[in-house]
Chain A
């Protein structure tokens, strides 16, 4: 912990390259600046160390214990929790749920966000109203959206039932059938968060170089070719940024699942990794096991993010 003290004078100068900004300035009072910097950074660093980094490390320690969140004593049990997780058939269901939810949430919200951004980038009357409407759900709390969408999906009296009934189609029981429950939760998540990918793609579209597209059009390139060869490469930095942030956000979704399904129906129907962490730790009181799942999740996320950043760097160099 001492290594992260802000006052450590021997700390190496690693980290990201210096951003474009004003050149280094000389000050007559370096010692005074050093003290001031310590005073300004200390509160934030202390909070992050105590409440973010300490628990992260503690989580790995707890994952090797049988700690019950109510009991004060925890015993070291080696890799037993990891073995339990690996052999638990529920874990496989949870992993598959997480995979389906994440892939759908990331894929659909990014594709739809780009399509909508392209549509509403056109000169259409009323586009500002529609832009605001798409973005509005993003600011509403996930708990409120979850509760509201329970009634939207209600198989007996809900909005979806009413609409489909008028067209002559029945609705599945979204609350009882695990597959449909997962569809319900995923749809709700996408509805709420679509505004994010939409707005960021829209901003990227407005910052692009339109002359390239015009040149391609004059050269007789087809719309599909122009999209694929001219537009997408220009949007690459935005796409990579979104793929990382949307992935991290969607893997962590808790409020919607807790409010709508509590991880059910039928056992683990909509339980994702994050929800399993909560369930084992706070519902089943097996905090050591919960910490194990949290550790596994963190390692998976870290690996995926590192790969994404690598791919991004390579993509940037090529273009």
Chain B
């Protein structure tokens, strides 16, 4: 895994010369039909819970508890959304999520790119050792670091602060690995030519290497944004309320406010929390898939 060049495979496009025997193994009409039935079942299995969440969010309170359940609400209402955004300080949590995700993502993207640049295009002693130190961090589970980090951040008085949440999460291992492999795949002749033309290291990064790496950089950025938006354990330990709590933490507070869960507002808030990442995903899924499959699939 460590020394494979990036082989971004766009799942929706056929790589040249590789795969052309589609449908060959799905010969007869019967098999074809079975394929459609299977595909439809899979679709139902994955989509039904999502549908269930969305319809519940539009139901009136009594309708949620009607038996048998209504799969289309008799009286659609947006009351659930109203309570969801007023029962907890929803927009505070939302704002915190946006701020923390934005700062963390920008920091991680910059750190990842400059680390990768140093590790791939500069020559200095101990380069491989430093690369190893960075990517080995991938092996250390968050849950092991939280105990000691919690003590450190508490001592600094940084609980319930943005820096307390952001700094411990800002180190970049995966992105460094991904971008380093990408930079190494830039042809040596181009680098050499730019160097002969007198391009300094920063100009080399900004004008030569990065422009040739957009697809990987975009994939890395999307994966980072989605991951930080969904980050749970560390913000959960670091924040007590809506001052710095992120949306996933706000959601759980909504659920715990009273003894009996009122599912309408909870589902409405869940929909609101899912929506931003789902929109990002639908708009940019190809890039995201490219980043995930880079290094996983032998080209």
Contact = CB atoms under 8 A, between A and B. Distances in A.
A62 B299 contact: no
Contacts of B299: 207
Contacts of A135: 281, 285, 289
Interface stretch (A76-84, A87-95, A116-124, A177-185): A116-124
A228 interface: no
Given A134-B46, A238-B298, A14 B56 contact: no
Interface in B285-299: 285, 288-289, 292-293, 295-299
Nearest to B8: A203
Given A12-B129, A36-B201, A199-B289, A21 B15 contact: no
B199 interface: no
Interface in A48-82: 48, 51-56, 58-59, 62, 69
A203 B148 contact: no
A43 B107 CA distance: 10
Contacts of A48: 133-134, 137, 171, 173
A106 interface: no
A168 interface: no
A19 interface: yes
Nearest to B112: A44
Given A157-B263, A223-B25, A210 B20 contact: yes
Nearest to A254: B233
Contact of B147 (A137, A143, A251, A290): A290
A140 interface: yes
A287 interface: yes
A13 interface: yes
Given A130-B43, A199-B292, A144 B274 contact: yes
A144 B144 contact: no
B72 interface: no
Q: Is the interface of B mostly helix, strand, loop or mixed?
A: helix
Given A130-B39, A133-B43, A242-B296, A37 B118 contact: yes
A203 B143 contact: no
Nearest to B149: A55
A55 B114 contact: no
Interface string A247-264: 010011011001100000
B7 interface: yes
A206 B251 contact: no
A140 B137 contact: no
Chain A interface size band reads 35 or more
B289 A44 contact: no
Contacts of A220: none
Contact of B52 (A134, A159, A204): A159
A157 B21 contact: no
Contacts of B76: none
A132 B282 contact: yes
A8 B125 CA distance: 8
Interface in B258-284: 261, 263, 266-267, 270, 273-274, 277-278, 280-282
A161 B201 CA distance: 63
B5 A40 contact: no
A241 B2 CA distance: 11
Contacts of A203: 9, 11, 289, 293, 296-297
Nearest to B288: A139
Given A217-B24, A255-B232, A281 B147 contact: yes
Contacts of B295: 241
Given A11-B130, A19-B184, 10 more contacts: A44-B112, A52-B145, A133-B46, A147-B270, A162-B67, A207-B7, A207-B9, A207-B297, A251-B141, A274-B141
24 contacts: A11-B129, A12-B126, A20-B184, A21-B185, A21-B188, A27-B123, A40-B117, A43-B111, A44-B171, A47-B111, A47-B170, A120-B39, A131-B12, A142-B248, A143-B232, A156-B65, A191-B49, A200-B297, A203-B11, A204-B298, A238-B298, A254-B143, A259-B252, A295-B144
Interface of B: 1-5, 7, 9, 11-12, 14-15, 18-26, 32, 35-36, 38-39, 42-43, 46-50, 52-53, 56, 64-65, 67-69, 111-112, 114-115, 117-120, 122-134, 137, 139-152, 167-173, 176, 181, 184-188, 191-192, 195, 201, 226, 229-230, 232-233, 236-237, 247-249, 251-252, 255, 261, 263, 266-267, 270, 273-274, 277-278, 280-282, 285, 288-289, 292-293, 295-299
